[in-house]
Amino acid sequence: MHAPFKWPNTAASLPRTNCWEGFGVSTSTTLGEARPEWARRQERERRHRRAKSRLRLPFAVAAACWAPLLLWWAAVYPAFTGAAPDGSAPLYAAAVRAVHAGPATLLQTAAAAFALGYLVAALARFGVRGRYSGPVALALAALPPTASLVVSATPEAVRTVAALLLTGAGLRLLVRRAEGTLEQGGPAQRLDLAVLTAAVCACALTGTRGAATALIAAAVLLLFLPGARVRLALLTVLALAVPIAFGLLGHPATPAGDLHTLRAADLALAQHRAATGQSPALTAVAPPREWAAAGADCSATAALTDGWNASAARRAEAELAAAWRQLLRDHPDRVLDARLCRSRIAWGVWAGGDGPHAATAVPGPAAGSRGLWHPLHAAATWSRTLLRAPQLDWLLWRGALWAYLGLAAAVLHAWRHRLRALVPVAGAAVLGTQLALTASAADQDYRSMAAALFLGPLLLTLATVRVRRAD
């Protein structure tokens, strides 16, 4: 019986060759080396074009936004609302005096234009198209409520620009966390960390309220960006150490700032609620009728400070502090009541109606704000006066509404794309502003919530993204 016939295993006996070797194609086993040279060249060109397109959007938006801001700067030169008081932000006031208000506000326009372009580029990484975010940024740079703030010599302008930069850097770092590249580093990530550090430092240099805002926002980012916690913590400490270093070097800053006015307003409201009399030390600061009027109108410290003796208040600062500490120990609810009443600008969509200081405060132009060309100055003043109609107050001059709308858009985007960290990262700067105002708001000035006026409309464009665009 014969054995069955078997075909010879020619595949095992013949040498292994590659039919593409004659065409110069690599035979490496790695995927990158196995691709033809022309395919790898096309991939490099595609990445280069993608990088150029990503840079084109922020530069175009920044240039477009700078144009109307320059017009506003020329219309209200040297500054719209004049210099900042020394007690609220001494470092900022010293910087304005050193370089003059005109150059200072010009630098603010450039910084604001860059911040708007930077945030638009960050939103583009989440799929927001420039056709939606670009016009919104341009409107913010042109409309009177926001544009006049940028060209004002006030620390709120710096805090607003810092909030835009901080939010943009946080969003860009969050994208890298979602992509799994947060721990890899790179030039772009180093730029984002540098922008974040500069934003925290600039915000902290504008006073106690700015430092509190920066600290709260940085703490939120530390919680939701675990891949960069060490770097973020070190950079935040470094940024917050700058104003402390200025203080240690003997900068002429007011040690207490407006702390004694806040405490006095707390005492006025508490005495009004409890119907108690004033001590002789408090009566020397202001007559009883002034304390009663301030207690009935809890919206601003100006209800008391407009009529008190400032020199007597400074002399009685120790007595005011002792009385306030006793109030905090015995009736902390009354202190909280006063702080929440004054922080209505941070949380309330509509202004209150329980006193002459309850309406939204919108400062007018300074006496020296004459502009470089009279017709342009007249047009800017007319447009701002037009939008001061009381029916538009809740929409154009109070940031709480836009804070809620922006947060709602972030929640919708996070739900659609399963990215829960987007909500706290996008709202970190606004939340820091609101909490800082809860602790230290002195009046209903719309500028204190200007960060929400800028961030809210831009974050609202997140609602336009249904399916994330592949870059």
What pLDDT, on the 0 to 100 scale, is given for residue 255?
43
In terms of domains, do 435 and 311 share one? Answer: no
Closest CA to 281 of 251, 242, 221, 324: 324
What pLDDT, on the 0 to 100 scale, is given for residue 352?
84
Q: Is residue 30 part of a domain?
A: no
What pLDDT, on the 0 to 100 scale, is given for residue 264?
92
What gap in Å lies between CA 433 and CA 427, rounded to an integer?
A: 10
In terms of domains, do 238 and 131 share one? Answer: yes
Mention every residue, 6+ apart, whose C-beta is less than 8 A from residue 126. Answer: 171, 175, 413, 417, 422, 462, 465, 468
Q: Is residue 2 part of a domain?
A: no
What pLDDT, on the 0 to 100 scale, is given for residue 250?
55
Give the range of the structural domain holding residue 313, as residue numbers without chain letter: 259-345
What gap in Å lies between CA 121 and CA 74, rounded to an integer?
A: 28
Q: How far is CA 283 from CA 264, 292, 334, in A?
A: 12, 11, 20
What pLDDT, on the 0 to 100 scale, is given for residue 119?
98
What pLDDT, on the 0 to 100 scale, is given for residue 30?
43
In terms of domains, do 230 and 99 share one? Answer: yes
Q: Is residue 224 part of a domain?
A: yes
Q: Is residue 280 part of a domain?
A: yes
What pLDDT, on the 0 to 100 scale, is given for residue 34?
66
CB-based contact 283:309 (threshold 8 Å): no
What pLDDT, on the 0 to 100 scale, is given for residue 50?
64
Domains of the chain: total:
2
Question: Global pTM?
Answer: 0.87
Beta bridge partners of 445: 361
In terms of domains, do 238 and 382 share one? Answer: yes
pLDDT digits (tens, 9 = 90+) for 396-429: 999 999 999 999 999 999 999 999 999 999 999 9
Q: Is residue 362 part of a domain?
A: no
In terms of domains, do 300 and 384 share one? Answer: no
Q: Is residue 411 part of a domain?
A: yes
In terms of domains, do 67 and 205 share one? Answer: yes
- Kindly report the length of the chain: 471
Three-class SS state of 316? coil
In terms of domains, do 236 and 149 share one? Answer: yes
Q: Which residues of the chain have pLDDT under 50?
A: 1-2, 4-32, 252-256, 471
One-letter amino acid of 439: A
In terms of domains, do 242 and 290 share one? Answer: no
What pLDDT, on the 0 to 100 scale, is given for residue 446?
96
In terms of domains, do 55 and 159 share one? Answer: yes
What's the burial of 172, exposed, middle or buried (CB within 10 Å: 0-12/13-18/19+)?
buried
Q: Is residue 147 part of a domain?
A: yes
The 10 Å Cβ neighbour count of residue 95 is: 17
Q: Is residue 179 part of a domain?
A: yes
Structure-token pair, residue 42: 């096309």
In terms of domains, do 341 and 206 share one? Answer: no
CB-based contact 174:228 (threshold 8 Å): no
Beta bridge partners of 361: 445
What gap in Å lies between CA 225 and CA 229, rounded to an integer?
A: 6
In terms of domains, do 117 and 249 share one? Answer: yes
Three-class SS state of 368? coil
In terms of domains, do 385 and 460 share one? Answer: yes
